Chain A
């Protein structure tokens, strides 16, 4: 009898164990920083209050390996994740992201191009070159000047990886914005970009997470850096005197995607719908220069006036990072970049 009881207890435990992992908070993951702080307050906690579903958030640096691992082993602990456009498309093709349920999510509210089979636009983002005016009253303002180590001696910082780096190199070499991807699609163009990078290789430091370039410039380690615009604007809001060069802007849209195999698929879809709706986005925009992909909020003149740092306000000054280009050439250029950088 005792043995049967023990067995029954063990069986009961085995049955309840998987449920323990299901009964976790709805988990949403982003790239961190001030954007996520404002999103936590106005989008994540806002949804928690509105729906009664407990939400927690986590931060990653855009590495997809963990997601692939989760989906392949069936142990999915992230539900909603913010991804860059090429990763969204590839993850969708690979079955890592679930198709968006457009019965729940209203696809008509987004700006053009911000809806995809597996994701909807979260926020526009951009990166541009900046420097500390206190140290360099007249720093470089264009990519050509960023590359000019004679006129502007000092250490430069760029993001580790080919994306954005090669575009910047070509523009520094005199390629017009409109032609960057046409040139980069050719072997000669790639050679040209790497040759241009060679010119300043000894003056370069590479960063990985968005917080690093701000720390590097803040501590005086680096003179001129390429960084996410939101973080530069926030640093200025906190007392720094950084000059942000909008003419060097490279921008794109980040998407909200739902991880395939999430045990809270329905909740996740509802949350995606809620955090892309006008009301919470307006609240978030009051504290952080977001560029929501929600058409109504994005076109709001009052918001645009209040948020001079909205990336999509500056789209005519910048270059839109081509999703198609990076899907087609990403692997090849990543391999080339890795081997170039190691030498």
Chain B
């Protein structure tokens, strides 16, 4: 390596390290975590070995019972057993309590376990639980990714839709993208005239007007969301104003609604749309408009045929940022929305904090990334201006 190229490598090293540490590693880790399935093999190595030779039909050989007893004895104080039962219970409700019962029963039972165990734990005498263990002895599984699109494996390994009462994630993805698209559209509609107005002001006035955009931008999302919480309350200023003006006779339910989610999200994200638009408009100036006017174009043609196409890169840049940020929104809907208004991040947090199911966390995150990427790619084909956005 020449000295020159060494120096150039050195110069990009921080950037490279950042990309690897902040982008490639976490996404790679998430991808692996979404399909990893180590729990059963770690907790029941002997059982898995015996079941490997079993064809999955009927009951497994008697040696499987002894292997299970050995494995459970071995893992009595370790944490692998608990992790394995949680993993299997995700696949089949009740699997955990069967295995916990088995562990408790083993303390007082004598081999051969193929005879003694089924008396105390009758559920073990059916092939399902053994099939479940066998199916999950593979170090990788598609079951989290399937569940993230409301599908699941049956005990004999086929793929089926989850029961209608528990299907949830496809609707959630739809809702997440629906809310995000609307937030983006509203932001564009509100930001365009605002940015145009600011760009038409004198420098001094524009810097004051910009301050009105930037101060909320610099304020924490949490603070702005909480402010909306207070404003939208039943006994908050908005309802008080509406009633004082005799527009409504009773307080409206504003908080914990989809409406509140839209209002707060648009407010939080609006600066991300205004700022790129403003910079494009400022650079553009009005010379092209004047040229069009001098050629006889009426105002609406000046706008549609000249100004809008010229400022489209600003619209596109802002819209992509707003959309990407809304897709991952968590705090704002969690605070001002009801349970019916939560987006996919809420459930990612739920699986992290409540269910402790990192496979689901990774699968949902990965699908969110894939869907968002796909949507941006499709949008690039159809929305003018997006295509020129190489960095988008």
Interface residues of A (CB under 8 A from B): 63-66, 68, 71-72, 90, 93-96, 155, 160, 205-206, 219-221, 327-328, 331-332, 334-336, 338-343
Query: Do A94 and B79 touch (CB < 8 A)?
Result: yes
Give the 9 A-B residue pairs with the shortest CB-CB distance, closest first: A94-B82, A339-B168, A341-B339, A63-B353, A220-B235, A95-B79, A332-B93, A65-B353, A65-B356
Question: How far, in angstroms, from A90 to B340 measured CA to CA in the complex?
Answer: 30
Interface residues of B (CB under 8 A from A): 77-79, 81-83, 85-86, 89-90, 93-94, 96-97, 100, 165-168, 171-172, 233-235, 253, 255-256, 338-340, 342, 347, 350, 352-356
Residues of A close to B171: CB separation below 8 A: 342-343
Question: How far, in angstroms, from A95 to B96 measured CA to CA in the complex?
Answer: 15
7 contacts across the A-B interface (CB closer than 8 A): A63-B354, A65-B356, A96-B82, A205-B338, A219-B233, A335-B166, A339-B168
Query: Do A334 and B340 touch (CB < 8 A)?
Result: no
Return the contact of B339 from the options A90, A160, A221, A328 (Cβ within 8 A): A160
Residues of B close to A342: CB separation below 8 A: 168, 171-172, 339-340, 342, 347
Residues of B close to A160: CB separation below 8 A: 339
Could you list 14 further interchain pairs (A-B, Cβ under 8 angstroms) beyond the known A65-B356, A339-B166?
A63-B353, A63-B354, A65-B353, A65-B354, A96-B79, A205-B256, A219-B235, A220-B235, A221-B234, A327-B97, A331-B93, A331-B96, A336-B166, A342-B168
Q: How far is the CB of A279 from chain B (nearest CB, A)?
A: 35
Query: Do A338 and B168 touch (CB < 8 A)?
Result: yes
Closest chain B residue, CB of each to CB of A339: B168
Q: Contacts A94-B83, A205-B256 given; indicate if A340 touches B165 (C-beta within 8 A).
A: yes
Question: How far, in angstroms, from A7 to B79 measured CA to CA in the complex?
Answer: 38
Question: How far, in angstroms, from A221 to B234 measured CA to CA in the complex?
Answer: 5
Residues of B close to A71: CB separation below 8 A: 79
Query: Do B165 and A95 touch (CB < 8 A)?
Result: no
Question: How far, in angstroms, from A71 to B78 measured CA to CA in the complex?
Answer: 11
Query: Do B356 and A64 touch (CB < 8 A)?
Result: yes
Q: How far is the CB of B88 from chain A (nearest CB, A)?
A: 11
Q: How far is the CB of B330 from chain A (nearest CB, A)?
A: 14
Residues of B close to A205: CB separation below 8 A: 256, 338
Q: How far is the CB of B131 from chain A (nearest CB, A)?
A: 20
Query: Do B166 and A155 touch (CB < 8 A)?
Result: no
Query: Do A206 and B97 touch (CB < 8 A)?
Result: no
Question: How far, in angstroms, from A94 to B338 measured CA to CA in the complex?
Answer: 33
Residues of A close to B355: CB separation below 8 A: 331, 334
Closest chain A residue, CB of each to CB of B358: A65
Closest chain B residue, CB of each to CB of A63: B353
Question: How far, in angstroms, from A339 to B339 measured CA to CA in the complex?
Answer: 10
Q: How far is the CB of A215 from chain B (nearest CB, A)?
A: 10
Query: Do B168 and A328 touch (CB < 8 A)?
Result: no
Residues of A close to B93: CB separation below 8 A: 331-332
Question: How far, in angstroms, from A68 to B353 measured CA to CA in the complex?
Answer: 10
Q: How far is the CB of A224 from chain B (nearest CB, A)?
A: 14
Closest chain A residue, CB of each to CB of B250: A153
Residues of A close to B253: CB separation below 8 A: 155
Query: Do B353 and A206 touch (CB < 8 A)?
Result: no
Closest chain A residue, CB of each to CB of B77: A95
Query: Do A343 and B340 touch (CB < 8 A)?
Result: yes
Question: How far, in angstroms, from A71 to B235 measured CA to CA in the complex?
Answer: 45
Residues of A close to B350: CB separation below 8 A: 338
Residues of A close to B83: CB separation below 8 A: 94
Q: How far is the CB of B389 from chain A (nearest CB, A)?
A: 34
Closest chain A residue, CB of each to CB of B232: A221
